[in-house]
Amino acid sequence: MNTIDTNLDPREHPKQDVYGVIGNPVAHSLSPLIHAQFAKQAQQSVYYGKLFSETDAFEKTVETFFQHGGKGLNVTVPFKSRAFELCHHLSERATAAGVVNILWQEDGKYYGDNSDGVGLVRDIENHPIKIKGQRILVIGAGGAVQGVILPLLQKQPVQIVIANRTQEKAQKIVERFLPQAKAANISLEAIALKDIEQLQQSFTIIINGTSSGLEGASPFTEEQAQHLAQTIQQANEGLAYDMVYGKPTAFMLQMARVNYHVKDGLGMLVEQAAEAFEVWRHLENQHQLNTASVLEMIRKR
């Protein structure tokens, strides 16, 4: 598979069903490697490539891809919100997230779904920490966080606290999901990031949904990290998860120093890709794809 070309044209692969990832930038994407493994496992004739789009040409690039016979696209930054606006039909989780990362057409209409939250939940529970009954602290209030709150709620934690630099932005997410939280008797609240040290609860799972890892920084001060570590009942019982992947982030290193287990978002990338493949290919057996072997292969690269 050619994983360098970013000008994906389905017409160049007439004997295969063509999918791809669209973004700006997109050359760094690992998605073609991942989907090539899934296609091999499922014994399906699929080609998956990379599709670069200029910022002002997203809609036209998508239209051309499908006109030329493309079957589906994964959508990455900065186009997830615009993919959402493009869709005629949205899944429940895409509607909840307000962003789309799985896009396809049926009868000329765009369909959208979101697998980010499912990918995160699957990867956390592969840790293995079961989310049910846990207290979860989520950092950030952007699109990445919006996409994971509903899948987290569906796993029935006791509490989710969303902490963001601007509390009002976190509160808006809380208000969107409060009906589902109340129906499941789950505590859902927002706080300002600066007020972390006022929290007295023990958080088994802490998720960094900010882009701080890309900037070589952590959303926490050292004092905040130490405070959170004091609330866990014993060392190494907590998981600090950073959605960023590629190398240990400042957040991961910081939380490891205070005795949290740490994990990056590479497993989330693989799991959300598996969900997309299953949606597109209508796989009957949800566990047909061996994500663990794909994750191991990528980590060894």
User: Both 122 and 43 in a single domain?
Assistant: no
Among 76-85, 118-127, 283-292, name the one with the lowest average pLDDT: 283-292
Task: Output helix, strand, coil percentages for the chain, rounded to the nearest 5.
Answer: 45, 20, 35
pLDDT of 195 reads 97
- For residue 293, what are the domain limits? 10-114+267-299
**Locus of tokens 């950030």:** 140
Nearest to 28 by CA among 7, 55, 48, 6: 6
Q: What pLDDT, in 10s, does the model give residues 204-214?
A: 999 999 988 77
User: Both 255 and 125 in a single domain?
Assistant: yes
* Set 80, 169, 182, 300: catalytic member: 80
3-state secondary structure of 89: strand
pLDDT of 247 reads 87
| Range 42-59 average pLDDT | 96
- Is 1 among the domain residues? no
Is residue 285 very low, low, confident or very high in pLDDT (cuts 50, 70, 90)? Answer: low
Using a pLDDT cut of 90, give the percent of the chain over it: 82
| Range 60-67 average pLDDT | 97
3-state secondary structure of 211: coil
| Range 171-175 average pLDDT | 96
User: Both 259 and 286 in a single domain?
Assistant: no
Q: What pLDDT, in 10s, does the model give residues 247-284?
A: 899 999 999 999 999 999 999 999 999 999 999 999 87
Q: What is the pTM of this model?
A: 0.92
Q: Between residues 197 and 144, which one has the greater pLDDT?
A: 197
Alpha helices in the chain (DSSP H): 31-42, 58-67, 80-86, 92-97, 116-125, 143-146, 149-154, 167-183, 222-231, 250-257, 266-281, 291-299
For residue 40, indicate whether it is catalytic.
Answer: no
Number of domains in the chain: 2
User: Strand 135-139 and strand 102-106: pairing?
Assistant: unpaired
State the average pLDDT for the chain.
93
